[in-house]
A and B are shown apart, each in its own frame.
Chain A
Amino acid sequence: MKEKRKGPLSRAAGLAEGMAATVRRMQREREPRVLVYDPAGYARLVQPEARGHDRIMEVAEQMLTQVAGRE
């Protein structure tokens, strides 16, 4: 079956959807989170409610503050 050819409006809408999805993905990647990776490279999320999560975030924030203070 032949695919229906898209008009300029559909193509523009498709592009906009793609860009919106990219922006959403980038925002999601920058959300506060803790990921750990095993030696094989598999990632595992430390859940926000998990023990130690807040301490890890705290230490990381202190590191950023430390670096920002001398820039």
Chain B
Amino acid sequence: MAILTRVDDTLTPERAAERLRGLSADVRAAVLLDAAGSLRGASDDDYDDAQALGDLARKLFEEVDRATRDWDTEPPEQVEVQVPGGAVFGSRTPRWTLVAVARRGALSSLMLYDLRAVLGELEGGPQIRRSRSAAERTPGPDTEEHAAEELPMPELGGQ
């Protein structure tokens, strides 16, 4: 039984964008691209819309790389673009690129943290633990360990 639950909870590329949207109410849409820039997951069910957003996400990082290629720093890992009416946040690893369109007023630090957390989980890091409402909780002893499971923030694994 425990093994079945574990397998079911494993984050797959197809579910990563939806997981991000589940973490933050400020995320309006998200897409996941692989290292080749192909769409691997989207929060939206409509294939054409997801594909169009994926193309733009790939273009975004291409433009970021073009703009920063002469800088004497490492290639950017994350990007934040504030535009009238909202914001776009992106984060990447050598294997994955996750980009989210967020509502106006979304907290940058939290958005970037969530993006990195989801990518971390996708790369095999520990699963993000989310707080649950009191109604969902199973009764348990009031131990520190039990309380730690109710942390309101997702955790980054192995970083």
Q: Which A positions have Cβ atoms within 8 angstroms of B?
A: 26, 29-39, 41, 43-44, 46, 50-53, 55-57, 59-64, 66-68, 70-71
Distance to closest chain A CB from B133 (angstroms): 26
Q: How large is the interface on B (under 10, 10 to 19, 20 to 34, 35 or more residues)?
A: 35 or more
- Whether, in the assembled complex, B130 has its beta carbon less than 8 Å from a beta carbon of chain A, the answer is no
- Whether, in the assembled complex, B108 has its beta carbon less than 8 Å from a beta carbon of chain A, the answer is yes
A56: nearest chain-B partner, CB-CB: B63
Complex Cα distance, B121 from A44, in Å, reads 26
Residue pair A60, B77 in contact (C-beta under 8 Å) = no
Complex Cα distance, B67 from A57, in Å, reads 12
Chain A residues with Cβ below 8 Å from B63 are: 52, 55-56, 59
**Interface residues of chain A: helix, strand, loop or mixed (majority):** mixed
- Whether, in the assembled complex, B79 has its beta carbon less than 8 Å from a beta carbon of chain A, the answer is yes
Residue pair B56, A66 in contact (C-beta under 8 Å) = yes
Residue pair B28, A67 in contact (C-beta under 8 Å) = yes
Residue pair A37, B80 in contact (C-beta under 8 Å) = yes
Chain A residues with Cβ below 8 Å from B108 are: 29, 35
**Are A32 and B82 also in contact (CB < 8 A) when A52-B67, A63-B57, A70-B49 are?**
yes
Distance to closest chain A CB from B127 (angstroms): 22
Residue pair B60, A37 in contact (C-beta under 8 Å) = no
Max chain B Cβ within 10 angstroms of own Cβ: one of A35, A57, A71: A35
Complex Cα distance, B29 from A70, in Å, reads 10
Distance to closest chain B CB from A25 (angstroms): 12
8 more A-B contacts (CB under 8 A) besides A34-B79, A51-B66?
Answer: A38-B73, A39-B74, A43-B80, A52-B64, A56-B63, A60-B83, A60-B87, A64-B86
